[in-house]
Amino acid sequence: MAPLIQANALAQSFGARTIFRDVSFEVAEGEIFVILGGSGCGKSVLMRQIVGLQPPSSGHVAVFGQDIYAPASDVRSKIGVMFQSGALFGAMTLLENVMLPLEMLSDLPPAARRAVAQVKLGLVGLTDAAGRMPAEISGGMAKRAAIARAMALDPPLLLLDEPSAGLDPITSAGLDRLILDLRHDLGITVVVVTHELASILAIADRCIMLDAAAAGVIATGDPRKLAEDSDNPTVAAFFNRQTLAVAAR
């Protein structure tokens, strides 16, 4: 089966600064694939390249077998995206936020749009919060609402940028379970950008690790295996940091 995402020799520079170069990987249908690494390594830039928002300086991205940057490509309609901040509209209720993609990109009548949005909020456990405003909910609820909006059009591919950022460990673990449940129940493919070690080990089937100093990929594979055995000191330090922090207490 052809990969759902195929990235070939991607590079990104801004002026004289090279963020990364020669980044290649594939994402199989139905897997949870994590893009990980420390701050400033280009994780979010790479995600924007995949979704078609940041043309690479060089290289090629194919999603569902189509060039994501081809003028006639309709592949972006098959991708749901949750940005790091959640990006909910503060003047809209959660239900209205989830309905927005349906209003803009579907031909459904208002009653059907509302019904679909209610179903999506139910999938993320926010049925009772549909009428609340973003300012009235917790950070974890806001992330769940943003995921519901990303799924409004039933995309087979979901991209999540730092979904656990700013969340406490219990809330973050709940979000990890939600991601696993959505993959299991809906059969979707999920690409997650994160540096949260607990989340990486909990949800990832495979990962790619970027490094700012190397300006590219330094590891790829099952993160649990990388955590157990890596000859790269940067990779080993990344996966051992939680153990080291506990030992230092």
pLDDT at 202: 94
Residue 135 CB neighbour total at 10 angstroms: 9
User: How far apart are the C-alpha atoms of 205 and 85, rounded to whole Å?
Assistant: 25
Q: Does domain 30-41+78-205+217-248 have CATH number 3.90.230.10?
A: no
Is the Cβ–Cβ distance between 41 and 20 less than 8 Å? Answer: yes
Quickly count: other Cβ atoms within 10 Å of residue 61's Cβ: 21
3-state secondary structure of 137: coil
Which pLDDT does position 86 carry in this prediction? 67
Q: What is the pLDDT of residue 13?
A: 95
Residues of the chain with pLDDT under 50: 243-249
The phi and psi torsions of 14 (rounded to 5 degrees) equal: -125, 105
Residue 247 confidence (pLDDT): 40
pLDDT of residue 242: 54
Residue 75: predicted pLDDT: 87
Q: Which residues contact 97 (CB under 8 A, 6 or more apart)?
A: 88, 89, 134, 145, 149
> For the chain, what's the residue count?
249
Helix, strand, coil percentages, rounded to 5, for the chain: 40, 25, 35
Q: How far is CA 141 from CA 125, 127, 146, 163, in A?
A: 9, 11, 9, 11
